Structure 1
Amino acid sequence: MITIQAQKYDGKPHYTWQSEVLDLNDEYVVILSYPETEIKHYTKNIVFTANNWWIELYPFKEWYTISMEVENRKPRDIYCNIAKPSNYKKGLLTFIDLDIDFVKRDGKWKVLDEDEFETHQMKYNYPAEVVNKVWETLDDLQLNLKNKRFPFDGTLENYINQIPNTK
């Protein structure tokens, strides 16, 4: 098992959950989160439960994370967090969530939480380099999606066969 912890820019926990490692290499870790996984949301002070399987990608050099919801062994929604590169040490995976999300819901892609980014940019005093990297990363993700390049090249879908068969 692995513990994943999203953090805000000041290092405080944002949300935490446990999952299973599917793949770990020098570039990224891929994890599998099970239905019924409990996710503790510190900012909202609630615990919620996942309804489906999730295959998640956490790059160590790129400024994003990706979570793909899988329902009936097929991709459903995709959630890309713009975030500082992930860190993995001794069973703990952490990343700094930078608010803006690029998501696919109901078959449509959209950018979410630009207002939250603006608020936190002031609250946490994001340096100009971080602000520029957020917008650059969002542009790169959109271009990679359009051109079917990693991580939108089927990489995550290839892990669906590792979801246990359940009845």
Structure 2
Amino acid sequence: MRIPREGEFVTIQSYKHDGRLHRTWRDTMVLKTSEHSIIGVNDHTLVTESDGRRWVTREPAIVYFHQKFWFNIIAMIREKGVSYYCNLASPYILDEEALKYIDYDLDIKVFPDGEKRLLDVDEYEQHRIAMNYPKEIDFILKENVKILVDWINNERGPFSEDYVAIWFKRYQQLSRRC
């Protein structure tokens, strides 16, 4: 698969552990690719749910995907500040069709004031049992929650104010060119 270039668009597809398509984001603009990561932006992006329901994202959001970590990060740029939505998920793969990952239900939301909440623990437990998640995956996900909380607490990577500002500015520059 050819790695997308800055300014190109990719589709993002999230799946569940049992292989069912969960959600699709159409036309995410690529801001940067490296050997192991992709940074992009969604801005009024069409999202399609597995049940066919469709909606459009409300604000610009910088998205961060990595091939070594079991999470992805969405930095939503809002009037009251940046909010983060972090999905505990498999590392991504990229093929001719889309950037793809498995969503494992657990999420961490970070509010502009720094408050953190672990979300969907009950849903994770239900799916862990119903879809028979291997013990290794359960362990990996719980370890990656710790890594993610450390990144949040220490303002690493996407949790840095500078990171969001730099990539949002780059998005604005690319948008003007198009």
* TM-score normalised per structure 2: 0.84
The 5 A counterparts of 1:87-126 are 87-90=93-96, 92-105=98-111, 107=113, 108-126=115-133
Where do residues 27-66 of structure 1 align in structure 2 (5 Å cutoff)? Answer: 27-35=36-44, 37-42=45-50, 44-66=51-73
Shift of 1:132: 0.7
Question: Post-superposition shift, 1:66?
Answer: 0.4
Pairwise CA distance, 1:50: 0.8
Contact 2:73–2:86 (8 Å) recurs in 1: yes
Deviations 1:38-84 (A, max 9, x none): 10011x54111111111100101110000111135x85211000001
Aligned-partner Cα distance in 2 for 1:75–1:136: 28
1: distance between equivalents of 2:25 and 2:142?
Answer: 27
* Structure with the largest fraction of strand: 1
List 4+ stretches of structure 1 deviating above 6 A.
Answer: none
Q: How many correspondences in the alignment?
A: 163
2:19 aligned residue (11, 19, 28): 11
**Do the aligned partners of 2:48 and 2:54 also contact (CA within 8 Å) in 1?**
yes
For structure 2, the residue ranges without an aligned partner over 5 or more in a row are 1-8
Preserved contact between residue 75 and residue 157 of structure 1 (Cα < 8 Å) = no
Instruction: Work out whether residues 61 and 74 of structure 2, in 8 Å CA contact, stay in contact via their aligned partners in 1.
Output: yes
- More displaced stretch, 57-66 vs 152-161: 152-161
Percent identity over the alignment? 26
Determine if the alignment matches structure 1 residue 127 to structure 2 residue 103: no
CA distance in 1, matches of 2:130, 2:52: 20
| Separation of aligned partners in 2, 1:135 and 1:92 | 27
* Structure 1: gaps (5+ residues): none
Q: 1:145 Cα shift? A: 1.6
Give 1:76's aligned residue.
82
Letter in 1 for 2:54: V
Residue 25 (structure 1) aligned to one of 34, 37, 49: 34
Q: Does the aligned pair in 2 maintain the 1:68–1:75 contact within 8 Å?
A: no
Counterparts of 2:81 and 2:165, CA distance in 1: 7
Q: 1:17 to 1:56 in 2, by over 3 A?
A: same
The DSSP-based 3-state class of the residue aligned with 1:69 is strand
What TM-score, normalized by structure 1, do the two folds share?
0.89
Give the whole-Å Cα distance in 1 for the aligned partners of 2:93 and 2:116. 27
Name the structure with the higher helix share.
2
